[in-house]
Amino acid sequence: MKRCHIFAGGDLGNIADYWFPNHHGYVICADSGYKHAKKLKIKPDVIVGDFDSYSGKLPQDSEIVRTVPEKDDTDTLMAVKIAIERGCEQIYLYGALGGARFDHAFANIQTMLYAREHGAELILIGNERVYLQGAGSRSYPRSDGDAYFSVFAITETAMIGELSGVKYPLRDYEMKQSFPIGVSNEITDSAAHLTIESGLVLVIQS
């Protein structure tokens, strides 16, 4: 599976546990996300953006994709599109949650849906890790420092076959988009195990 790492311009949070084990792969910076790569001494393959939030010098040995501010796509969505076009199936997005712009954070959650619709998995990494899960089973290992494990229905309803390894387990439960019953759960075993029968959920480890 081809991986891609995208750096957006928000706060990075604690990425060490995710960057260093998984750093091999394509690297794209979305506009001011380049400041993070530069600080971490990471050479991006591509830098994309209108550069309204980054005005410094750009590296000559990276591909530069310049856009204009008046566009439908966010710089981050454009970076995700490039990653998908170049065959990346698993995409880690850093700097997508922190900062003062909630609208950007929400746009990045919508970008997760875009990636899924186009055959790729987009994972948001920071002080939280954010995943989308559809039908099937998946385990979420507990990491040092984790306090909460939350599950929210993204579709109108999501049928939870089983949620185990947590303080408040669920079985054969219809989770509704309009009721946040899955907030602030806790992983009590080495991992949480989630089986979705139908629908789509957002999983947040924080």
> Residues 15, 31: one domain?
yes
**Residue 167 predicted with pLDDT over 70:** yes
- Quote the pLDDT of residue 141: 93
What CATH number does residue 78 fall under? 3.40.50.10240
Query: Average pLDDT, stretch 182-195?
Result: 96
Res. 21 pLDDT band, cuts 50 70 90: low
Q: How many Cα atoms occupy the beta-carbon half-sphere of 40 within 13 Å?
A: 19
**In which domain, by residue range, is 147 found?**
132-205
pTM of the model: 0.90
Mean pLDDT of the chain: 89
Which one of 127, 146, 178 terminates a domain? 127
> Residues 44, 82: one domain?
yes
Question: Residue 21 is inside which H or E element, if any?
Answer: helix 16-22
| Total tally of structural domains belonging to the chain | 2
> Residues 40, 91: one domain?
yes
> Residues 81, 140: one domain?
no
Query: Average pLDDT, stretch 135-158?
Result: 93
> Residues 150, 182: one domain?
yes
> Residues 66, 104: one domain?
yes
**Which tokens hold the place of 149?**
């494990």
What CATH number does residue 161 fall under? 2.60.120.320
